[in-house]
């Protein structure tokens, strides 16, 4: 069944790929960004200027959709405002583009975050905020949320439709690599929108 979906962060690499996958499957899309002129125009999509750090401004744009997908940057100290915006819209179904840092390296093992090399403080702050966002969602009982963590490496690549899903442990191939293309990540996200297999849960995807 085709849905009317708002995508926050529609101008970004992952956001724009998710928009393309939604449109490919016949869904109606409202593409939202702080600079909507940077969103690639497409049939089946309307664009809107919105910023989740301004809930009062974005809530009226979000109202009336069947689902909201958040493909936003994890802004330290600001992610409560994203959840506030979704909650204020009255839309119950919320899917979030997550990070990989909170995944376990293996069953019973450490988190990816604990194995990271030295990174600049601003990068670490953003990664920590992604982990905190998952905690915020897990403490939320009034939204039908899903947090989709990508593989450790995500970037340009083929749209194959062939990948594996996991829950809290990172998905690796037989060589120990954890990767996924933007296009296949988008397929997994839109599959979840349509099938609702991970309600109030996090899951992950990789080859």
Q: Give the pLDDT score at 167.
A: 97
0.75 cut: is pTM over it?
A: yes
Say yes or no to pLDDT of 118 above 90. Answer: no
CA angle 53, 59, 60 (to 5 degrees): 135
List the domains of the chain with CATH numbers. Answer: 4-206 (3.40.50.720)
Residue 18 confidence (pLDDT): 98
Task: Quote the pLDDT of residue 1.
Answer: 85
**Minimum mean pLDDT range among 9-18, 84-93, 98-107, 111-120:** 111-120
Give yes or no for residue 32 having a pLDDT over 90.
yes
Mean pLDDT, the chain, rounded, equals: 96
Nearest to 17 by CA among 48, 39, 50, 47: 39
Kindly tell me if the per-residue pLDDT of 56 is higher than 90.
Answer: yes
pLDDT at 64: 98
Q: What is the 3-state secondary structure (H, E, C) of the chain?
A: CCCEEEEECCCCHHHHHHHHHHHHCCCEEEEEECCHHHCCCCCCEEEEECCCCCHHHHHHHHCCCCEEEECCCCCCCCHHHHHHHHHHHCCCEEEEECCCCCCECCCCCCEHHHHCCCCCHHHHHHHHHHHHHHHHHHCCCCCEEEEEECCCEEECCCCCCCCEEECCECCCCCCCCCEEEHHHHHHHHHHHHHHCCCCCEEEEEEC
Using alpha carbons, select from 92, 88, 69 the residue that is nearest to residue 23: 69
Q: Quick: pLDDT tens for 133-169.
A: 999 999 999 999 999 999 999 999 999 999 999 999 9
pLDDT at 117 over 90: no
91-105 confidence digits (pLDDT tens):
999 999 999 999 999
């Amino acid at each position: 069944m085709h849905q009317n979906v708002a995508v926050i962060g529609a101008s970004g690499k992952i956001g724009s790929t998710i928009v393309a996958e939604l449109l490919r499957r016949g869904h109606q899309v409202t593409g939202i960004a702080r600079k909507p002129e940077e969103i690639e125009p497409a049939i089946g999509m309307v664009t809107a200027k919105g910023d989740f750090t301004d809930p009062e401004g974005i809530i009226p744009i979000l109202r009336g959709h069947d689902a909201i997908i958040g493909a936003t940057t994890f802004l330290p100290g600001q992610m409560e405002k994203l959840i506030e915006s979704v909650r204020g819209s009255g839309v119950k179904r919320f899917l979030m583009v997550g990070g990989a840092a909170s995944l376990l390296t293996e069953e019973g093992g450490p988190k990816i975050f604990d194995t990271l090399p030295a990174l600049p403080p601003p990068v670490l702050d953003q990664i920590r905020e992604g982990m905190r966002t998952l905690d915020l969602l897990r403490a939320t009982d009034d939204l039908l949320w899903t947090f989709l963590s990508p593989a450790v490496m995500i970037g340009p690549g083929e749209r194959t439709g062939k990948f594996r899903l996991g829950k809290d442990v990172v998905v690796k191939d037989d060589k120990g690599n954890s990767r996924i293309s933007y296009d296949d990540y988008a397929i997994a996200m839109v599959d979840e929108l349509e099938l609702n297999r991970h309600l109030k849960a996090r899951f992950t995807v990789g080859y």
